[in-house]
Structure 1
Amino acid sequence: MRRSPLWRLLLLVTPGLAQVVEGLVTQLDLFPDNAAATDEGWAAWSPDGETLLFGSNRGGNANLWLKTGDQAARQITDHPAFDGHGTWSPDGRRIAFLSERSGSIGIWILDLESGAVIPLVVDQPGLTLTICAPSWSPQGRIAFEAVRNSDADAVTFTGADKTLRHPNVDIFTVAENGSDLERLTDSPGSDGYPAYSPDGSLIAFDSNRTGEFGIWVMNADGSEQHQITSGGDDGFSAWHPSGGWLAFQSNRAGNPDIWMVNLDGSGLRQLTSDSANDINATFTHDGRFLTFISRRNGGDQDIFLLDLSTVPTLQVIETVQPPKKGTRCLERQ
């Protein structure tokens, strides 16, 4: 039987994880031929589910890499400035990512075939971008967070993991050609980390407008903003491919771990449990596995995979078929 590229990325079952909450966790084998200490982070699966996009400081600088099956990882950006937090275009031919190559943080577009890199959104009057991955909708819009210039120098620490956040961040969207910039939120607090739903009709985000960070959902045009979770310093949400529930990170159990919740706010479940911080969740395109970042194997930051069918608290997982075509900050990788 032919195994998928996903299985050929797996390394070994991480030892010492026989816990009540957590299921089977494996570490992705991204650089099998080199044991050099590097940090990997912010994983995103290609629309066809074949290739993993991730950031790494391998070589001493943060850049973007691709890994397909048992092929060697391939570096796709090479710049002395920070490049990271990539997300795929719906057709899988381009990648939107954050970069400081212009001297300040901005969103850039990489054409994978030609290698051309062009700016999409960079700092401009009234708008200063923050370190947060953009999200690309099936309809061709890109959502991102930015801070109002009047508050651009104000930085606060939030959460048990001391996450850097600006106090007045809002969510914006822009067309993939850089036109039609729209502001979707304008709350007195911080609204950030937007993530489009699989069909592009909704955006999940985190907000502290009530005094603590929780997961919120709104329509893609910014209407009907409503809270999904509270009480846990929640953030970094990711959609299950079915569109019915969200994974997110939370310290509601005393340490940043990955949790899930149904779209109506019911069915709150803990998915990972480890003394190391488990952050930045995303799903494989069949919905069977969840990718996250952790330092649970030591000092380096690595990418891990959770088999959702083995999570004791998760009784039913809706598996979806990977699409044939088309159809997401803490760490700087």
Structure 2
Amino acid sequence: MWDRSGDKSFLEIFDIETGESKLLKEFDRVIEAPNWSADGKFLTYNSEGRIYKIEIATGAVAEVPSHFVDNCNNDHVLDPDGSGLYVSHHTREDGLSRIYKIFFDGRMPELITPLAPSYLHGITADGMTLAYCAERNGEYDVYTIPAVGGNEKQLTTAFGLNDGPEYDCDGEYIWFNSVRTGRMQAWRMRADGSEQTQMTFDAHWNTWFPHISPDRTKVVMLAYHERDVRPGEHVPNKNVELRLMTGNDETGWSQPRTILKLFGGQGTINVNSWAPDSKRFAFVRYAKK
């Protein structure tokens, strides 16, 4: 889709309390979309179709065995039980993205969504249900499915792209992004699809992938300036901003504020990368070689 052969990647950790970013590792190729493990010890990311894990304490990198699931994109989540990841893999028969589970112990991958394209973004804290963006009959909407596979359930019907769904830690709400009002904005709905509510109203920004922290008091998201992309575009190699909302339903939610400006976009923070302590999150920035 894009020629990114000239990109270098920098995997970093941002500390909410200090406002400082720490470089974990530099790569001479494109890596994308870090996930943070439930025990806080490692991150996973995708690169060149495969999934890798990196130990935070040592920087040691190891490939996660995935056998024929070798064309993964940047939409993946860790299973809370620590057994592996659910990934979005472009299958050989038609090149479309389907959700599989891959395992740290090397077991063969398991197909979850026979229908395609399906792009995974969320999982409930109990690991029982997945939330994903899928194109069905020409429209991209939010769907859920049992993590063991089965019948999918459509949650959104609004015209245009509805993307990036992820559960909060209580499984009460799904946060997502939608272009239904003309600009990409952050939204939230109950887990059954009811009470779909716009959460950001950025006049000059297209806001993507709202990631709710484990303590449910912070949401970090990626924003493109309106001059740089069309509302439905999520492209790489742009000057973007990471923005933060804080609050809760009792006190209300703040307006998003910019906490970091960087060269990034596609791959920077596609999936939830909050640390278990809700004080840090991982992201990727890029530079041209």
Q: Distance in 1 between matches of 2:284 and 2:108?
A: 29
**Structure 1 stretches lacking a partner, 5+ long:** 1-9, 15-21, 32-36, 152-167, 301-333
Alpha-carbon distance change, 11 to 46 in structure 1, aligned in 2, over 3 angstroms: closer
Q: Distance in 2 between matches of 1:180 and 1:142?
A: 12
Cα root mean square deviation, aligned: 2.6
Alpha-carbon distance change, 210 to 46 in structure 1, aligned in 2, over 3 angstroms: same
Deviation digits for residues 87-137 of structure 1, max 9, x if unmatched? 1112111310011134321000112224220100032xxxx325x433111
Q: Distance in 1 between matches of 2:13 and 2:102?
A: 34
How far did 1:196 drift?
A: 0.8
Contact 2:212 2:218 in 1 (8 A): yes
* 2:181 aligned partner, one-letter code: T
Q: Which residue of 1 aligns with 2:234?
A: none
- Is 1:64 matched with 2:51? yes
Using the aligned pairs only, state the percent identity.
21
Query: Which one of the candidate residues 111, 126, 149 is aligned to 1:178?
Result: 149
Question: Which structure shows the higher strand fraction?
Answer: 2
Contact 1:30 1:73 in 2 (8 A): no
Q: Which residue of 1 aligns with 2:41?
A: 50
Bigger CA radius of gyration: 1
Q: Which residue of 1 aligns with 2:83?
A: 93
Q: Distance in 2 between matches of 1:28 and 1:46?
A: 15
Correspondence list, 1:1-333, <5 A: 23-29=19-25, 37-57=28-48, 62-68=49-55, 69-70=57-58, 72-76=60-64, 77-79=66-68, 81-84=70-73, 85-103=75-93, 104-123=96-115, 128-130=116-118, 132-139=119-126, 140-149=128-137, 151=138, 168-231=139-202, 232-252=205-225, 255-262=239-246, 264-274=252-262, 276-277=263-264, 279-280=268-269, 282-295=273-286, 298-299=287-288
How far did 1:277 drift?
A: 2.5
Deviation digits for residues 137-161 of structure 1, max 9, x if unmatched? 1241000011123x2xxxxxxxxxx
Q: Distance in 1 between matches of 2:102 and 2:171?
A: 22
TM-score normalized by the length of structure 1? 0.68
Contact 1:63 1:79 in 2 (8 A): no
**Structure 2 stretches lacking a partner, 5+ long:** 1-9, 228-238
Deviation digits for residues 28-75 of structure 1, max 9, x if unmatched? 2276xxxxx211111001111112111122xxxx20011123263111
Alpha-carbon distance change, 30 to 97 in structure 1, aligned in 2, over 3 angstroms: farther
Matched position secondary structure for 1:251 = strand
Alpha-carbon distance change, 218 to 13 in structure 1, aligned in 2, over 3 angstroms: closer
Matched position secondary structure for 1:29 = strand
Q: Distance in 1 between matches of 2:35 and 2:197?
A: 26
Contact 1:97 1:107 in 2 (8 A): yes
Alpha-carbon distance change, 222 to 39 in structure 1, aligned in 2, over 3 angstroms: same
How far did 1:78 drift?
A: 5.0
* 2:141 aligned partner, one-letter code: D
Contact 2:11 2:285 in 1 (8 A): no
TM-score normalized by the length of structure 2? 0.78
